[in-house]
Structure 1
Amino acid sequence: MSGTLARTGLIVLVALLLAGCTGTQSVLSPGGVEAERVHLLFWIMTIGSGIILALVVVLTGLALFGSQSLRSRFANERFITGLGLFFPVVVLTVLLVYGLFVMRAGAQSQAPEDGQLRVAIEGELWWWRVTYLDGEGNRITSANELHLPVGTPVELALTSDNVIHSFWAPTLAGKLDMIPGRENTLTVTATRAGVTRGQCAEYCGGAHALMAFHVVAHPPQEFEAWLAHAASPAHEPATAQEQHGAELFQQAGCGSCHAVRGTEADGVIGPDLTHVGGRLSLAAATMPNNSQAFSDWIVNNQHIKPENKMPAYEIFTEEQLDDLSIYLDSLE
């Protein structure tokens, strides 16, 4: 009875652990061509290792509690050599070959055709600069989100000018380092629409854990509409509060670090804010995206994400802070 309860408890524990691995940031919920290969290889290795573990447990039990004749057979040199040497060599060799086949090691990836979309992603401290290079040579800069068309290979050019980062979107593909002075490329193909999450997977400093991003996969027509909107300038302030907030943005010098296309703000130190109000999050997936979050970030950003390059602005009155936050939130 106790053995049955122990087995039941173990099964429930494993199920709960696996359930915790699903969701918006998990290799167990693949949404890309390479991630589907990783998912298949994971289950092959997990099931195979489980079978081998069960075999070892059974043989150990028989060696401890079996009959004397059976235990004598286990002590035979050929039995030990077979299971202890040849069996692991054969299994690991087969697994290596199969893994290389599944992951298509050495094969040319399906690269984008001439004129198709290319995305340059730069690892900053501690956020992501994302620039879309369309077929006409236009550069459309955003931050902290990667938008992709479903079913189309997109080449990601990964760079860093500070420290080593690692780009990891588990539902799309495996990790790839971003090394200063070098460009690494990764071709990804989203297989289903939806929103997932990625993370910097290489320790890069104090706020490393707060350097995440969202991946948004669109049906092709929706992606074209999104890209056209992303390329457009910011809309004009529509209310008195938004107008006042836009004036404060310029007067406080925000435009020296941030760009808002269609205005005099053309800074390149911080994220492009042209359509910041339409993003899924603020501060690289650290905060929700609303006017209150903008206010909190402006005043308390060093507390929220220590050592980031933006100083804490405590120069605004409560009314000014509200107007500035409402203006930023309106940039959709």
Structure 2
Amino acid sequence: MNQLIPTSQNAQAQRLVRFVMLLSVLVAMVVVAFSLWFDARSLPMDVFISLRLPRVLAAFGVGGLLALSGVMLQVLLRNPLAEPYILGAASGASFCVLLGMLLGGAWWLLQGAALFGALSALAAMLWMMRRHARLEGDVTVLLLLGVLLAALLNAAVSAILLVLPDRVMRGALFWMLGDLAGSGQFYAAWFGVWLCLIATMLLAQPMAALMRGAVMAHSIGVNVSRVRVQLLLLSGLATALAVMEAGAIGFVGLIVPHVVKAVGARHFATNMRVVLPLCALWGGILLVVADWLARTLFAPLQLPVGLFTVALGAPLLAWRLIKRMQGGSA
């Protein structure tokens, strides 16, 4: 009888995982289909095909990239509040892209600049956290370092905006707030989200071990240094692709992993093979919905999609901090 209980619990967990995964796929299909149908009613077909379809698909890809980047950074820094916007990775990518634009860089050069900026910001954050190992996992220190780094980078971004020509100033400001209006292509975001998802699924077991600490990961044969470098590169790549496509969109990497792990707290919250694809799906769903609201809520005025994700993410961040201070954990 004692052996039947774990087996029964395991079977229940597997059924829940299959149900949640299937439900997530169906919700993603419905959300994307509804957004496309809503626009197809009122737009000429050529405008719909050339502008609206790529925008919706790009939103899904960018949301998946940001959610995956958030999961990777939370594992990398062992901190539940780590995400590319808070840690300054998005600001680093934005700064390098705007600098490249100012210098007249080609498209491929801007892609490289975004990757360099995101990786540099994340590497600086990782170095500062590893410099003082006792601070690893400290929420307060992480947020202060992230705010400091983002503030410095945003100051540099503001300096670049001041010297941009007036004809591109408005577009640059919208892009800095997170905007999908200029998404004419979705291939980079879709290719990137599949690449990052496959790569992280291959690292699912080491990531799960790393969540329990470097010592535990070492004890089961995980090459911690190599996994950290891989996660740093992948999270930087995901952030760079998202920033190039839609600008600095905040808090997707915080909202989605928390919701996914909260739903599966008893059954799959630590199973990265389940958490990773669910985050990619729900990151896409969140950004498609946010972009639809940005386009329709005050139509014909279109708002930056980043305003909606910040409106959702900031209260969640505040709630997590308050809960941590009151209960000692979050």
TM-score by length of 2: 0.25
Question: Could you say which structure has the higher strand fraction?
Answer: 1
Question: Could you say which structure has the higher helix fraction?
Answer: 2
Q: Quick one: higher RCO (CA 8 Å, sep 6+), 1 or 2?
A: 2
TM-score by length of 1: 0.25
